Amino acid sequence: MKIGIAQINPVVGDFPGNVKRILAAYRECLDGGADLVLTPELSLAGYPPRDLVFKSQFVPKCLQALDYLAGETRGTPLLVGYVDHNHPSRPGKPFRNAAAWLQNGEVRHRVWKTLLPTYDVFDERRYFEPGETCEPVVWNGLRIGVTICEDIWTEDYLLRPFYDRDPVDELVSKGTDLLVNLSASPFHLGKPALRRAMIGGVARRAKVPVVYCNTVGANDQLVFDGHSLIAGANGRIQLQAPGFQETTVVADPFASAENDAPLDDNESSHIHQALVLGVRDYVTKCGFSSVCLGLSGGIDSALTAAIAVEALGPENVRGLTMPSPYSSRGSVMDSFALADHLGMRCDEVSISSAFEAVKETMRPLFEDKPEDVTEENMQARIRGLLLMALSNKENHLLLTTGNKSELAVGYCTIYGDMNGGLAVISDLPKTRVYQVARWINREREIIPWTTIDKPPSAELRPDQKDQDTLPPYEVLDGILELYVEHHMSADEIIARGFEENTVRWVQRRVDLNEWKRHQAAPGLRVTSKAFGIGRRMPIVQRFVG
């Protein structure tokens, strides 16, 4: 028996487009000899559809598309993820996260998702009612257990059970010969390896093969990496699909494998691929074809530009370097060197005269007060004005270039360098920024080495360096990981060996700048806890701990 895995990139709400993607992958799998074809979770609707499901025509159009898909199937079944109504006579939420078994022009079986995640980036209990029973689908003499994403995330490495049901155990107890899983599992660092361990463990415990089809692509802040796979009944990973790209694979899940198929788990490679995919999908799915960004000569804007060029092509990325009275000529030259290496256009517009004009305009109000951070922010906001003007005039999507370390402690200017439609590296700590930049330069110089090697600086006052204001990034990022991603208290972090005053300063800065992050551009998630989706902190609060 051969199963086809259709690792596709749906667009949320694009039912005609998603039907075409599914049918193209279905036919490709048929050409490869597939006896059954599997698509990702909610592949027909796109994941996550969020409150679109409440629109009066969303689910009816989804069901209409499902009927059309069913009419295009023949003897080879197609498993499709979609949104269904909860029966009006049943209590609970109005919808179901569902999978449909399509064959010979009709819907033969419908399966409801049983375990509905409502934590981190997931909010499925807001919309869906869980399935009441788990029954295998009988086909060609096999009993196939159809599960949807969270239904198989029940292994004990999760530290504690989230649910009082285990769909895998329920299906196995009914004689299931094969488990299949339609998934929309978003990426973060370490997730592909975690999935392999989890799915291998499920197969080993159930003593049946597991076929896992994950979606690929990016929707808003979430990046889905694919990495679909097949685990044999012995728990070995006998097939590993590539990550971060659409693909179809056809394989026999009952074939034996003594060794695991390899996984490329280089962290810098995964971050780069995730961000490239995230930029490409966000830009194109939002209807843009090009982007612009400010180039400061620093590492953050350089990495953002390199990712954008990889995602969209150099002809679709426009850079603007905007020196102030405090900018070094070296920074301007680094910006042009980067643009030359990437093959993109970069223009220079000085903000010196605009800066002087704004200061002169405000002089009567400031009453000869000494210059301070106000004048530094003026420069950032003038740059933001120019970049938004370029974005408006030429219909570019403006990319912001701030990293996670800066965003965490508010080392950024709202309505200035925070302007834009997408924050590409806002979930990348500064130390990771350097790591990925060096990885990009592994074969040749793309990001100028002078940019990588020089001390980081905002260049908003004479001889300014980031470390004049911030702790060393190695220290800052270590504290931030414990405080933001692992929710540790200041005392717990201090007990790890970090200096007390530094920890409490970082904690205070993170808490004080929640208001800025609520107004920030959406950012692409690559760590286990990003600012934005999945992190819901109040702005007005007085808790210290």
Calculate ∠ Cα 346-296-363, nearest 5°: 110
Residue 368, pLDDT > 60, answer yes
User: Mean pLDDT across the stretch 355-366?
Assistant: 95
Q: What is the pLDDT of residue 248?
A: 98
Interval 422-465: pLDDT, tens? 999 999 999 999 999 999 999 999 999 999 998 877 666 777 67
Q: Say what the pLDDT of residue 159 is.
A: 53
Q: Which architecture, in CATH terms, is 272-465?
A: 3-Layer(aba) Sandwich (3.40)
Average pLDDT of 73-81?
A: 96
Per-residue pLDDT averaged across 331-356, rounded?
Answer: 96
C-alpha 367/C-alpha 479 separation (Å) is: 40
> Is the pLDDT at 334 greater than 70, yes or no?
yes
Q: State which amino acid sits at residue 244.
A: F
Residue 356 has pLDDT above 80, yes or no: yes
pTM equals 0.95
State how far the Cα of 530 lies from the Cα of 121, in Å rounded to an integer: 10
State the pairing for strand pair 317-321/3-7. unpaired
Question: CA-to-CA distance for 338 and 308, rounded, in angstroms?
Answer: 13
Rounded to the nearest integer, the mean pLDDT of the chain is 94
- Rounded CA-CA distance 122/375 in Å is 42
Burial (CB < 10 A; 0-12, 13-18, 19+), residue 536, is exposed
Task: Give dist(CA 372, CA 374) in Å, integer.
Answer: 5
Per-residue pLDDT tens over the stretch 107-125: 999 999 999 999 889 999 9
Cα-to-chain-centroid distance, residue 415? 24
Question: In angstroms, rounded to a whole number, what is the distance separating the alpha carbons of residues 199 and 497?
Answer: 37
- Supply the DSSP symbol for 540: S
| Alpha helix ranges (H) inside 343-429 | 352-366, 373-394, 404-409
In the predicted model, is pLDDT for residue 34 greater than 70? yes
Question: For residues 360-394, b (16+ Cβ closer than 10 Å) or e, as one string?
Answer: eeeeeeeeeeeeeeebbbbbbbbbbebbeebbeee
Gyration radius of the chain over CA positions: 26
Q: Using CA atoms in the order 72, 75, 76, 79, what is the torsion angle rounded to 10 degrees?
A: 60
> Is beta strand 178-183 parallel, antiparallel or unpaired with respect to 210-214?
parallel
Q: What is the mean pLDDT of residues 62-71?
A: 97
pLDDT score for 162: 72
pLDDT digit string (tens) for 377-390?
999 999 999 999 99
The pLDDT tens digits for 406-421 are 999 999 999 999 999 9
Confidence of residue 466 (pLDDT cuts 50, 70, 90): confident
The total of other beta-carbon atoms located within 10 Å of residue 343's CB is 11
Strand partners, 226: 243
- Residue 30 pLDDT: 97
The 10 Å CB-count burial string (b at 16+, else e) for 295-322 is bbbbbbbbbbbbbbbbbbebebbbbbbb
Residue 345 identity (one-letter amino acid)? R
% of the chain at pLDDT higher than 90: 87
What is the SS3 assignment for 344?
Answer: coil
> What is each CA distance from 277 to 220, 274, 292, 528, in whole angstroms?
11, 5, 17, 18
Please give the pLDDT value at position 458: 67
CA dihedral 121, 196, 39, 10 (to 10 degrees): 40
Distant-in-sequence, close-in-space partners of 300: CB < 8 Å, separation ≥ 6: 401, 402, 403, 406, 425, 433
> 250-285, pLDDT tens digit by residue?
999 999 888 899 998 899 999 999 999 999 999 999
The answer on pLDDT for 157 being more than 70 is no
Let me know: does 92 contact 112? Beta carbons within 8 Å.
no
> For 133-143, how does the pLDDT look when each residue is reduced to its tens digit (9 = 90+)?
999 999 999 99
What ranges in 234-285 are assigned the alpha helix state H?
Answer: 267-285
Say whether pLDDT at 160 is over 60: no
Which of the four pLDDT bands, split at 50, 70 and 90, describes residue 155?
low
Instruction: Kindly state the greatest CA–CA separation across the chain.
Output: 87
The domain spans of the chain are 3-255, 272-465
CA distance to 85, 112, 126, 252, 533, per residue, from 116 (Å):
16, 10, 9, 30, 17
At residue 386, the pLDDT reads: 98
Please report the pLDDT score of residue 154 as a whole number: 74
Catalytically active residues, by annotation: 41, 113, 149
Distance, CA of 40 to CA of 79 (rounded, Å): 9
pLDDT band at 156 (very low <50, low <70, confident <90, very high): low
**Banded pLDDT at 326 (limits 50, 70, 90):** confident
The correct answer on CATH 3.60.110.10 for the domain covering 3-255 is yes
Predicted pLDDT of residue 267: 96
Average pLDDT value for residue range 502-506: 96
CB atoms within 10 A of CB 329: 9
Check residue 66 and give left, alpha or beta (phi > 0: left; psi -120 to 50: alpha): alpha
Task: Taking residues 205-229, report their average pLDDT.
Answer: 97
Indicate the pLDDT class of residue 468, thresholds 50, 70 and 90: confident
What's the rounded mean pLDDT across residues 153-173? 78
CA-CA distance, 140 to 6, in Å (whole number)? 21
Has residue 211 got a pLDDT over 80?
yes
Amino acid making up residue 215? T
Q: Would you give the end-to-end CA distance of the chain in angstroms?
A: 57
Nearest-angstrom CA–CA distance, 122 and 10: 18
